[in-house]
Amino acid sequence: MRTVFGIDVSKASSEVAILVNGEKIHGYTMLNDAIGFNRLLNDLKTVHNPEIIFEATGVYSRRLRAFLEEYGYAYTQLNPLEAKKQLDSLRVRKTDKIDAEKLAHSQFILNRKPTYAQEEVYQHLRDLSRFYQNLTEDIVRAKNRLHKVLQVTFPELENLLSTPTGEQYGNLVMAFPCKEFVLNLSQNKLCKIIRQSTSKRISEKRIAYLTDKLIKLAKQSFCAVKKISPMLEEVRYYAQELLRLSEHRQVVLDDMVALAQPLPEYDILRSIPGIAETTATSIIGELGDIRRFQSTNQINAFIGIDLRHYESGNFLAKEHITKRGNPYARKILFKCIHNIASASHTNPCHIADFYEKRKRQSTIASTKPHAIASIHRLIRTMYYLITHNKLYDYSLTQNR
């Protein structure tokens, strides 16, 4: 006797359909809280080896998943796109109750395997990776806003350091939001502020150079607002926000590295030229336990670089990637290819060789198609190395 629980998860509540040997015997609405989950638990305890199936609905299905894992129940979590393709032929009408029943009914036909349960560390790394990505987006947004207001108050300040980023730059922007704050201070006072603007050691020669350059930039600057303008406070706010976000992002990265270092795939990924600790931890965070995939094609589909093929009669459409998978993983791996290509000048890599070869053979200016092809090759390399527990060795790739 097979008993299947089909669950259609929504924001605050879920529809539960219980089928025995293909026949519905019960259905109800449960809240996505402790009371609702306890009701589901009582029903699960009355059945031997229940099959539980539901769609992944982002943060809303995560509580249900955590509840099932806590009580040791295996479950099948479907990708929403996969579920739509499988259930469309079964749907005549669409409601949450019908969806729950159809999910359970389809399990008797398709006999899906339970979802691979990853170790908790991979979920923690994924959460930290998303937090890191969100902080990075906030930093970019704060940089753009600071640049915008600084163009009104003191645009020349962006030329003081080699790059307008980092701790020292942020502190100097807060100290000198417009030229008046420079010209009203003595040279000794300016030297003291510059010395205290960074926690790193800085030579007196460097301090004198920056002081002279700062005075020169202030003299040639024209401020569009007065010293009492509220825009100066806005400049200070974005500079302080940049420092705060950068510090917090570094804390998150340190936590990611601490979690990832004990995992065997961390050193394996770091052995590939061009992959540093930030990239390695982000890849693990987004891909999770790569051993759960049965082939590299599944990983391609997971991140959305599998090709969309359309052919009808004599017409053959140009192939494009589906972009239906994990956009964060796709972005990380795309940047990773360029890092590998840059590092190949000192640390050769067969992926960089492939990327450069495709660029030379191509007649188009865009490098995006070559990067996508290189990502697939990188995925195949990572999958082989991790599943066989081997470090990357460039010399071995030249024998094939």
Q: What is the pLDDT of residues 184-241, one digit of tens each?
A: 999 999 999 999 999 999 999 999 999 999 999 999 999 999 888 999 999 999 999 9
Average pLDDT over residues 10-29: 95
* 378 against 370, higher pLDDT: 378
CA 114 – CA 191 distance, rounded (Å): 65
What pLDDT, on the 0 to 100 scale, is given for residue 80?
A: 82
pLDDT band at 305; cut points 50, 70, 90: confident
Residue from 256, 237, 393 nearest 332 by CA? 256
Considering the entire predicted model, what is its pTM? 0.86
The string of pLDDT tens digits covering residues 96-152 is: 899 999 999 999 999 999 998 889 999 999 999 999 999 999 999 999 999 999 999
Question: Is the pLDDT score of 66 beyond 80?
Answer: yes
The rounded percent of the chain whose pLDDT value lies above 70 is: 95
The DSSP call for residue 7 is E
Question: Is the pLDDT score of 173 beyond 50?
Answer: yes
Domains of the chain: 3-110 (3.30.420.10), 124-247 (1.10.287), 261-397 (no CATH)
The pLDDT mean for the chain works out to 91
> Inter-axis angle of helices 231-260 and 277-287, to 10 degrees?
70
